[in-house]
Chain A
Amino acid sequence: MNGVQVSTTVNGDVEEFVCHPGETLLEVLRNRLGLTGAKEGCGTGDCGACSVIVDGQLVCSCLVLGAEVEGRKVATVEGLADGNRLHPLQDKFLEHAALQCGICTPGFLVAAKALLDDNPDPTEEEIRYALAGNLCRCTGYDKIVRAVDAAAAELRKSSKKKASGRKK
């Protein structure tokens, strides 16, 4: 094999790996780095189960090469929680029962994270638009949309607290 040496950052940690030239980022994450949160649903970009964030942009990791993330920053669902403390999105997904089988959940969480990083106060329409590249065959989406809405409210509350805390 013709190996490609790649140096990148995954969830804040520097990672170096050698991969096949045609190996997808999804394969690298799952098979080389042991990060199995991103799932392969379709392999063609339809389902979004493999969603990760590269340099702040939500992408399907099945449609990005491992070699393409050289020098870039990758964020996956594994980086969402802070140690044992779940991210508000994860809390609200649980609270709102926004998952059933769970296969699509990592992709939805990451897509929702990308949305809220970009737009902390989205309308329902904006939430639905931002999650449109992710398929769920169990929930019917409504609970997911409500969970993201609730997490956004929670995050706004805590960032306000932080801001007023700084003033003192």
Chain B
Amino acid sequence: MAAHDVMPDIELFQPVTVEDASAIARRLEGRGWVLAGGQDTYGWLKDRAKTATAMIDLGTIEALSGIEETADGVRIGAMTTLRTVSRDPLIRERYALLAEAAGKVASPQIRNQGTLGGNVAQDTRCWYYRRGLSCYRAGGNICYADSPEGMNREHAILGASRCVAVSPSDTGTALVALDAVMVIQNGGSVRRVPAAKFFVGPAVNITHMTVLREGDILTAIELPAAWAGAEHYFEKVADRDVWDFALVSIAAAFRTSGNAIEDARLVCGAVSCVPHRLNAVERAVIGRPRSEETAESVAGLASQGAKPLNFNHFKAPLMENLVKRALRS
């Protein structure tokens, strides 16, 4: 296996329109790799764990960058960098949950180059899979992480099906909590997918983490006005505060009236192959205040149904504790 540092011989396309990018991707079929900021891509290619022979660089499509106000909220171009998302005054004012999540990704260097679209479209960090082993996700018939000797401290406790890899995206949890809509263009046609349906678990498709397929270009992420200015809470627990992926994270948004929660979204990251929405907790907190008492009484619902692996039992209480912290306000 190549040693993390040399890129393969590869072609590079630098289209200036989404239509062209999409057409090139379809023409290349499996040989093409749609390139956003490259912070996940180059690792795959340097390791030879993926065998794309051409990159389709979205960096040359100007229309994909930038943040604008729309009739119903805010639209963020998919190629907008994580740094911009984390610092943009409009996002910080209305969707601080997303600004905080974007500011917690990796390191300053990676946030400056990495994009919001790339962060949600990135592949899992399961090291067996990234090593290029022929596991379920890679089209094989075994999961190395879920084996007696498997190192699975970082893996899923919910929603696994043969594959136990988790979604590594910090912004994905925030986008699901904010009911964001992903705008996907393929050729001339555009479809709009709710963030919660954008991410796909292994029971649905074991080789793809999102709904993106050949020729699909994620062009923008729309944040609806409904959650603008909502109370929010974001926390990412990782072994290291920087350049590390979440062990468990939580993104929560609350709309309150007087003291009572009217509507809530609580989403955990790194516990499942997709951002994991805590439906039971959300239902249980309606009509109650954000308080210690509410926190204590509903936290147990967070990890219901969890099936920990050998080394990740800690994730269940960690989820519950993060729910408590989100609800204490």
Minimum C-beta distance from A37 to chain B (A): 16
Which of chain B's residues have a CB closer than 8 A to the CB of A62? Answer: 5, 42
Tell whether A22 pairs with B110 under 8 Å between CB atoms, given A42-B4, A68-B59, A133-B242.
no
Q: Find out whether the CB atom of A63 lies under 8 angstroms from the CB atom of B241.
A: no
Q: Mark B6-29, 1 if CB is under 8 A from A, else 0.
A: 111111101000000000000000
B43 lies within 8 A of chain A by Cβ: yes
The stretch of A52-60, A77-85, A158-166 that contacts the partner chain: A52-60
Minimum C-beta distance from B5 to chain A (A): 3
The stretch of A8-16, A43-51, A91-99, A143-151 that contacts the partner chain: A43-51
**Chain B residue at smallest Cβ distance from A110:** B109
Q: Find out whether the CB atom of B45 lies under 8 angstroms from the CB atom of A63.
A: no
Q: Find out whether the CB atom of B243 lies under 8 angstroms from the CB atom of A63.
A: no
Q: Find out whether the CB atom of A48 lies under 8 angstroms from the CB atom of B107.
A: yes
Q: Find out whether the CB atom of A133 lies under 8 angstroms from the CB atom of B110.
A: yes
Q: Find out whether the CB atom of A60 lies under 8 angstroms from the CB atom of B113.
A: yes
Q: Which residues of A contact B (CB under 8 A)?
A: 1-2, 4, 20-24, 40, 42-46, 48, 51, 57-60, 62-65, 67-68, 111, 114, 129-130, 132-133
Q: Find out whether the CB atom of B8 lies under 8 angstroms from the CB atom of A22.
A: yes
Across the interface, B83 reaches (CB within 8 A) one of A42, A43, A57, namely A57
Which of chain A's residues have a CB closer than 8 A to the CB of B9? Answer: 1, 20, 22
Which of chain A's residues have a CB closer than 8 A to the CB of B83? Answer: 57
Which of chain A's residues have a CB closer than 8 A to the CB of B55? Answer: 21-22
Tell whether A65 pairs with B243 under 8 Å between CB atoms, given A22-B45, A43-B46.
no
Which of chain B's residues have a CB closer than 8 A to the CB of A64? Answer: 38, 113
Which of chain B's residues have a CB closer than 8 A to the CB of A58? Answer: 108-109, 112
Which of chain B's residues have a CB closer than 8 A to the CB of A130? Answer: 108
**Chain A residue at smallest Cβ distance from B8:** A22
- The answer for the CA separation of A48 and B107 in the assembled complex, in Å, is 9
Size band of the interface chain B makes with A: 20 to 34
Across the interface, A40 reaches (CB within 8 A) one of B5, B107, B109, namely B5
Minimum C-beta distance from B271 to chain A (A): 24
B138 lies within 8 A of chain A by Cβ: no
Besides A22-B9, A45-B106, A59-B113, 15 more A-B contacts (Cβ < 8 Å) are A21-B11, A22-B7, A22-B10, A42-B4, A42-B5, A43-B3, A43-B6, A46-B243, A57-B112, A57-B113, A63-B42, A67-B14, A68-B59, A133-B108, A133-B242
Tell whether A45 pairs with B109 under 8 Å between CB atoms, given A64-B38, A132-B242.
yes
Q: Find out whether the CB atom of B107 lies under 8 angstroms from the CB atom of A45.
A: yes
- The answer for the CA separation of A168 and B241 in the assembled complex, in Å, is 48
B214 lies within 8 A of chain A by Cβ: no
B296 lies within 8 A of chain A by Cβ: no
Which one of B4, B109, B113 has the highest number of Cβ atoms from chain A below 10 Å of its Cβ? B109
Which of chain B's residues have a CB closer than 8 A to the CB of A24? Answer: 7, 42
- The answer for the CA separation of A23 and B45 in the assembled complex, in Å, is 12
Q: List 22 A-B contacts (CB under 8 A).
A: A4-B12, A20-B7, A21-B10, A22-B12, A22-B55, A40-B5, A43-B6, A45-B43, A45-B110, A57-B112, A59-B109, A63-B109, A63-B110, A64-B38, A68-B38, A68-B59, A111-B108, A114-B108, A132-B107, A132-B108, A133-B107, A133-B109
**Chain B residue at smallest Cβ distance from A26:** B5
Q: Find out whether the CB atom of B4 lies under 8 angstroms from the CB atom of A48.
A: no
B88 lies within 8 A of chain A by Cβ: no
Which of chain B's residues have a CB closer than 8 A to the CB of A114? Answer: 108
Minimum C-beta distance from B57 to chain A (A): 7
B122 lies within 8 A of chain A by Cβ: no
Minimum C-beta distance from A76 to chain B (A): 14
- The answer for the CA separation of A65 and B10 in the assembled complex, in Å, is 12
Q: Find out whether the CB atom of B14 lies under 8 angstroms from the CB atom of A63.
A: no
- The answer for the CA separation of A53 and B223 in the assembled complex, in Å, is 31
Which of chain A's residues have a CB closer than 8 A to the CB of B241? Answer: 132
B161 lies within 8 A of chain A by Cβ: no
Q: Find out whether the CB atom of B59 lies under 8 angstroms from the CB atom of A60.
A: no
Minimum C-beta distance from A52 to chain B (A): 9
- The answer for the CA separation of A94 and B107 in the assembled complex, in Å, is 26
- The answer for the CA separation of A67 and B112 in the assembled complex, in Å, is 17
- The answer for the CA separation of A20 and B45 in the assembled complex, in Å, is 14
B39 lies within 8 A of chain A by Cβ: yes
**Chain B residue at smallest Cβ distance from A20:** B9
Which of chain A's residues have a CB closer than 8 A to the CB of B4? Answer: 42-44
**Chain B residue at smallest Cβ distance from A45:** B110
**Which 7 pairs across A and B sit closest by C-beta, in order of nearness?**
A133-B107, A43-B5, A21-B12, A22-B7, A132-B242, A57-B112, A22-B10
Q: Mark B146-158, 1 if CB is under 8 A from A, else 0.
A: 0000000000000
